[in-house]
Amino acid sequence: MEEERKVAGIYIRVSTEDQAREGFSLGEQEEKLKQLCDYKGYEVYKVYCDAGISAKDMEHRPKFQEMLKDMKDGKINYIVAYKLDRVTRSVRDLEELISQLEKYNTYLVCDRDDVNTSTANGRFFVRMTVLSQLEIEIVSERTKFGLNGAIKSGHLPGQVALGFKKDGNRKTIIDPSTAPIVKRVFDLYLQGKTFLQISNIFNEEKVLNKNWKDTHIERIINNRLYMGDYEMYKRLKEWKNVEPVIYMNVVDPIIPRYIWEECQAQKIINQRTYTRDRVYTFFQKLKCPRCGKIMKCKGSGGKRKKYVYYNCEDCHENIRESYVEEEFEKIVGQLLRFDNEYNELFLPLFADKEKSVDKSDIEREIINLTKQKERIKKAYMSEVVELDDFKEDLKVINEKLDILTKQLEKEQELKNRNRFTPEKVMADRDIQRIFMQNGNDVSLFLTEWQTMTKEDKQEFIARYIESLTFEKDDRYPNGIHLIDIKLKSLFTEKVSRLSELGLSQVPVEFISNNKSIMLNVSYPLKESQVKNYIKEFKDIEGVKLHIHPTFEFSLEDMPDEIFFDLEKDEKVLKLIPIIKDIDNSENLSNKFKLGIVTSFVKTTKEDSKE
C-alpha cells in the first residue's frame, strides 16, 4: 500500500505591531517553513498569507478562511505555521480549530512551539492552554474514529506503537524497519533479562538513538497489540476504574500469541522477591520437594562461599546447585540437540507459513528512508536543523536501513533455497546423527552445556524451562532425583509444530534379544511419506528400510519386545509406524506395519575395546 500523502498549506501572518516588536518578516517565515516542509517530507500545496492582520479572531482573516476551505475540500491535510500565535491567540478559536482539524483528518504543525497535532501528546500540549482535563482529549480521539468497525478493520486511534506504522488509508500495519526491535525485546525478556537490563542493553547499543527506560520496555511487554489485539480504555482503567474493551486480531501480530502470554507469566514470577547477589543457573525454576513453592536463591558465606543453594523459606529445605545440575545434565543434552536441530533443519519448513513482510514493502520503505536521508542533509545544509539533531536523525535512519537490508537478504536467502519437505528434513536430521560419533551425538551437546558460562546456562533455562521438581531420595548419589520437568510453551510449541508434520520422534525402551535398549520411534507416517524419506538417503551407503515380517499393531498395543535379525555392524536408526495411504489415515486406531530403518556403522578400535 502507498503511504499517505502529506500535503501542507503554509500559513504566515504578521501584523504591523509584530513586525516592529519581533522583527520577523513574512518572507523569512515563508522560507523557513518551506525548508521545514522539505525536511519533514510534506508536499507544499499553497502559501496562505495574511499581511498586517492581527490574531484577534479567525473570521476576519481572508487567507486563513481560504486555507480552511481547502482543508475541507481535501486539498491539504497539514497546516504548517511559524508559531502558534500566528494561527490564533483566542482560546475559543483554538478549540474550534482543533475540532475542525480532527473532523477533516488534518494536523497542525508549529515550528517554533514544537506543536504537532498528529500525535495525542501534541494535541494535548496545545490543549493545555485551553483545557484542564486530559479526558476531553481521549473522548475527541475516540469520536474521531467513530464506530467499533473502524478498530476491527485496523484503523486504530492514537499514536502508533513501536513496530507499527500507518499506511495510506490510515490503517495500522507492521513497520519492517522497527518490528525486529520489538521481537528482540520479547526474546531478551524470555531469556530472563529484566526491564532495566534490556533498557541498559539498548542504551549501550544506542538503539534508535533514544534514551531507553525500563518503563519503555515494560510498556512493550504489556502491549497486546504486538500479538494482534487492541485494548481500548486502558488508561481509563487506571484513572476511573473503567474496564477496558479488547478487540481480538485487529492487526497482523509481530510476535506469536503464545510468546506474549509466556512473557506475562514470566512477569508475574519476576514481581516476587528473591535474593540475588550472584548468577544462579536455575533462578526461579526449582520447586520445593515438600510444599512445591519456588525456592529462593542463596549463596553460602565464609569458607564455603563458592557453594550456591536453593532454599524454601517455609519448609527450610536446602538443595545445592551443583547437585541439581548433575541431575539436569541427564536430560539437557536431548534439549540442546532438539533446539539445535530445530533451528538448523526445521525452520525452513515453517518459513512459508510465517506471516512475513512483503518484499516490495521492504524495498519501498528503503526508498522512503533514503529520500529522508537526502532531505535531512539538505535541511542541515540550509541550517533548518542543528548539527546534533542532524546526527541523531541520520543515525536512526541508518539503523532502520540496516534492519531492512538484513530482512531483504533473509527473504532472498529463503527464496533461493530448495523447497523443503518434511521427509527431506527428517532424512537430513538422521543423516546428521549417523555421522556424529556413531549416533551418540547427545554427548556432544552435553559437552557444549558443560563449557557454557553460567549466564548462558541461565538464559537457556529461562527460555525453555518453566519449573523443575526434585524429590529427596537417599538411593541417589546426591540424595535428590529429578521427577518432573515442565517445559515452557516456547519449547512445546516447537514440538507441536513438528508433530503436525510427522517429524516428532521419542525415545522408547524395548527388550530386544534379552537386552534393554532405547530406540527412537517416529510419529506414524504414510507409506508414500516413508518412500520419499528413504529416497533422500540415495547418496548415503548402508541405509536400509526393513518391514517387520511378523506382526501389525495399533498404538494402543505397541509391543514391548522386538526381535531384530541384523547383519554385523548394522544398527537400528529408528522405528517408523507405517499406515496405509487412505483417506482416514488420521485415525490412529488403524493397524500399522513396523518400519525399521538401519544403517551400517564402522566400528572403531575404541568401540571394539568396549
Residue 435 sits in the same domain as residue 512? no
Give the domain-ending residue among 456, 474, 503. 503
User: How many domains are there within the chain?
Assistant: 4
Residue 332 sits in the same domain as residue 310? yes
Indicate the DSSP class of residue 63: H
Residue 237 sits in the same domain as residue 106? no
Residue 298 sits in the same domain as residue 330? yes
Residue 515 sits in the same domain as residue 430? no
Residue 497 lies in a domain: yes
Residue 81 lies in a domain: yes
The enclosing H or E element of 123 equals helix 120-127
Burial of 85 (0-12, 13-18, 19+ CB in 10 A): middle
Residue 44 lies in a domain: yes
Give the domain-ending residue among 451, 480, 503. 503
Residue 329 sits in the same domain as residue 449? yes
**Amino acid 540: pLDDT:** 79
Give the separation between CA 468 and CA 324, rounded to whole angstroms.
9
Whole-model pTM: value is 0.53
Neighbours of 22 (CB within 10 A): 10
Residue 433 sits in the same domain as residue 542? no
Residue 490 sits in the same domain as residue 508? no
Residue recorded with cell 533446539: 339
| Residue 211 structural domain | 164-269
Residue 149 lies in a domain: no
**Amino acid 376: pLDDT:** 81
- Known catalytic residues are 15
Residue 152 lies in a domain: no
Give the separation between CA 543 and CA 559, rounded to whole angstroms.
24
**Amino acid 551: pLDDT:** 62
DSSP string for 270-336: HTS----SS--TTTTTEEPTTT-PBPEEEE--GGGTT-EEEE-TTT--EEEHHHHHHHHHHHHHHHH
Give the separation between CA 564 and CA 547, rounded to whole angstroms.
11
Give the separation between CA 396 and CA 406, rounded to whole angstroms.
16
**Amino acid 604: pLDDT:** 45
Residue 257 lies in a domain: yes
**Amino acid 392: pLDDT:** 78
On whether the CB atoms of residues 108 and 117 are closer than 8 A, the answer is: yes
**Amino acid 605: pLDDT:** 42
Residue recorded with cell 495574511: 50
**Amino acid 91: pLDDT:** 63
Residue 360 sits in the same domain as residue 426? yes
Burial of 368 (0-12, 13-18, 19+ CB in 10 A): middle
Give the domain-ending residue among 485, 503, 521. 503
Residue 492 sits in the same domain as residue 523? no
Q: How far apart are the first and last CA of the chain?
A: 67
Give φ, ψ of 43 to 5 degrees: -90, 125
**Amino acid 46: pLDDT:** 93
Residue 509 sits in the same domain as residue 430? no
What CATH number corresponds to the domain at position 16?
Answer: 3.40.50.1390
Residue 206 sits in the same domain as residue 194? yes
Residue recorded with cell 486530559: 134
Give the separation between CA 133 and CA 127, rounded to whole angstroms.
9
DSSP string for 256-280: -HHHHHHHHHHHHHHTS----SS--
Tell me the mean pLDDT per 10 residues along the chain, length 610: 78 65 66 87 91 70 91 93 77 78 88 70 61 42 52 78 86 89 91 88 90 92 91 63 74 87 74 59 89 82 67 89 91 86 75 58 81 81 76 82 78 59 84 65 81 87 88 87 87 81 78 74 86 86 80 66 76 84 54 83 45
What CATH number corresponds to the domain at position 235?
Answer: 3.90.1750.20
Residue recorded with cell 525415545: 507
